[in-house]
Amino acid sequence: MAVIEREIQARFKCTKCGNEDCYIEELAMTGTGLSKMFDIQNNYYMFVSCTHCGFTEVYNSNVLKGHRGQLSNILDLLFG
Ligand SMILES: [Zn+2]
């Protein structure tokens, strides 16, 4: 996970103001309702906030982890 955060930090560019610094916080959403009933694993989300304007994007960490091999391709798509 640390690798993913580093990669995002290195490539981050705010889509709103163009700032290149971000603050990343990872939060776990514990299962509620149906997901708890079916014992689905916790979902982890990364909140990536622009340090200049505060715009925040949320990424599903589980999805990014699943693409570890091609992570840089995906980040190229996100931040070009
Ligand atoms: Zn910004």
Q: From the CA of 73, how far away is ligand 1's center (Å)?
A: 23
Q: From the CA of 38, how far away is ligand 1's center (Å)?
A: 39
Q: Which of residues 56 and 2 earns the better pLDDT score? A: 56
Strands (E), the chain: 22-29, 43-50, 56-60
Residue 11, pLDDT score: 93
Residue 66, pLDDT score: 84
76, burial (CB in 10 Å: exposed 0-12, middle 13-18, buried 19+) = exposed
Residue 41, pLDDT score: 62
Q: From the CA of 76, how far away is ligand 1's center (Å)?
A: 18
Task: Show the tokens assigned to 53.
Answer: 């304007």
**In the predicted model, what is the mean pLDDT of residues 39-68?**
86
Tell me the domains of the chain and their CATH numbers: 3-79 (2.20.25.10)
pLDDT (tens digit, 9 = 90+) per residue, 3-45?
A: 889 989 999 999 999 999 999 999 887 766 655 555 556 678 9
